[in-house]
C-alpha cells in the first residue's frame, strides 16, 4: 500500500543500492534461469517416485542418479537458488526477507 500512496520515497527506502549493478542483476537473472532448468530436470529424473507425503500403499524406489547424486532434494535446491537469483536481480529488503523466510521456515519443514 505504501507504494501506491508514496511511490518515490518508499521505493528508495526498500532498495539495497549497493547491489544495484548491472553485473549483479544479470547474475541474478542467470541464476533464476539456471534454477528453472535445474528444477525441471530434477522433476523429470524423479519419474514415478514423485509424490507428496508418505503413502504406505505405494513403494517407490529411491532416486540416486542424475541431480540426486549431488543433492537429496534438488528441487528444493533449485528453488533456493532461484530465490537468491531473484534477490540479486531485484535487490530489495522485501526480496531479502522472502529469502530469509524461505530458508528459516521452509527449509526446516523440508527436513521434518
Residue 105 is classified by DSSP as I
Q: How far is CA 63 from CA 41, 44, 50, in A?
A: 13, 11, 10
At residue 1, does pLDDT exceed 90? no
C-alpha cell at 15: 532498495
At residue 108, does pLDDT exceed 80? no
The neighbour count for residue 32, using CB atoms within 10 Å, is: 18
- What φ, ψ does residue 55 adopt, rounded to 5°? -110, 115
Residues 6+ apart with CB under 8 A from 103: 80
Distance CA 106, CA 87 (A): 17
Task: Give pLDDT, residue 112.
Answer: 42
Residue 61 is classified by DSSP as P
Distance CA 43, CA 56 (A): 22
- 56-88 pLDDT, tens digit per residue, is 777 777 888 899 998 888 998 999 899 999 999
Task: Give pLDDT, residue 92.
Answer: 86
Amino acid at each position: 500500500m505504501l507504494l501506491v500512496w508514496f511511490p518515490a520515497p518508499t521505493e528508495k527506502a526498500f532498495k539495497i543500492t549497493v547491489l544495484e549493478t548491472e553485473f549483479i542483476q544479470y547474475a541474478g537473472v542467470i541464476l533464476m534461469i539456471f534454477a528453472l532448468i535445474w528444477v525441471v530436470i530434477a522433476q523429470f529424473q524423479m519419474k514415478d517416485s514423485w509424490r507428496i507425503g508418505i503413502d504406505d500403499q505405494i513403494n517407490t524406489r529411491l532416486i540416486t542418479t542424475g541431480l540426486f547424486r549431488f543433492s537429496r532434494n534438488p528441487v528444493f535446491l533449485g528453488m533456493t537458488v532461484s530465490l537468491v537469483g531473484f534477490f540479486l536481480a531485484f535487490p530489495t529488503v522485501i526480496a531479502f526477507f522472502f529469502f530469509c523466510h524461505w530458508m528459516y521456515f521452509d527449509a526446516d519443514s523440508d527436513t521434518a
